[in-house]
Amino acid sequence: MDRLDLKLLAALQKDASRTNAALAEEVNLSPSSCLRRIQRLKANGVIKRTVALIDPAAVGRVLKAIVEVELERHGAHHMRTFLAHAKSEPAVTHAYAVSGEVDVVLMLRLHDMEEFHDLCERLFRDDNNVARFRTLFVMQTAKEETGVPF
């Protein structure tokens, strides 16, 4: 990737809904060159997908939680199994296998405490490989960035 690719990626991270012509003008490329670069970045997996960022509160997901999970048994199979269950839950927006005192960190977007309770039953209490979990409810968000710095 060259500096034009990075400039184009920065522009796309700010607003990917702009037309190709508008992006090309911003990064000082011809529209055809801009389109070829974007297609190449997609084909190479640099641009994974183009999405709309929705305000969670606008769709009723007002409760944000971070859950740390400790597994009873370790190993690739046990981790894959737990992560597969976590990924199947709509309220789980991020699922990370991590190093340190816990094994997994989950980020949740929930409608209410009842949804959280039901998720806990399915994901933690019904799984005999979950030794313990700890939940942190987000009271205030100081920064939540979707873009990747480069």
Residue 114 covered by a domain = yes
> Residue 8 sits in a domain of what CATH number?
1.10.10.10
Residues 120 and 71 in one domain: yes
Looking at residue 150, its pLDDT comes to 82
Based on the number of CB atoms within 10 Å of its own CB, is 120 exposed (0-12), middle (13-18) or buried (19 or more)?
Answer: middle
Q: Which residues contact 130 (CB under 8 A, 6 or more apart)?
A: 69, 70, 71, 72, 82, 123, 124
Report the alpha-carbon distance of residue 7 to residue 27 in Å, rounded: 6
35 assigned to some structural domain: yes
CATH number at residue 75: 3.30.70.920
User: Which residue in 13, 6, 47 sits closest to 29, CA to CA?
Assistant: 6
pLDDT recorded at residue 108: 98
| Predicted model pTM | 0.87
Residue type at position 137:
F
62 & 123 share domain: yes
- Range of the structural domain that residue 23 is part of: 3-43
Q: What is the pLDDT of residue 61?
A: 97
Domain presence at residue 39:
yes
pLDDT at 120 (0 to 100)? 97
For residue 130, is it within any domain? yes
Same domain, 66 and 11: no
The answer as to whether 146 is a domain residue is no
Let me know whether 39 and 62 are in one domain. no
Per-residue confidence (pLDDT) for residue 86, from 0 to 100: 97
pLDDT in tens, the chain (150 residues): 999 999 999 999 999 999 999 999 999 999 999 999 999 999 999 999 999 999 999 999 999 999 999 999 999 999 999 999 999 999 999 999 999 999 999 999 999 999 999 999 999 998 899 999 999 999 999 999 988 998
- Identify the pLDDT of residue 28: 95
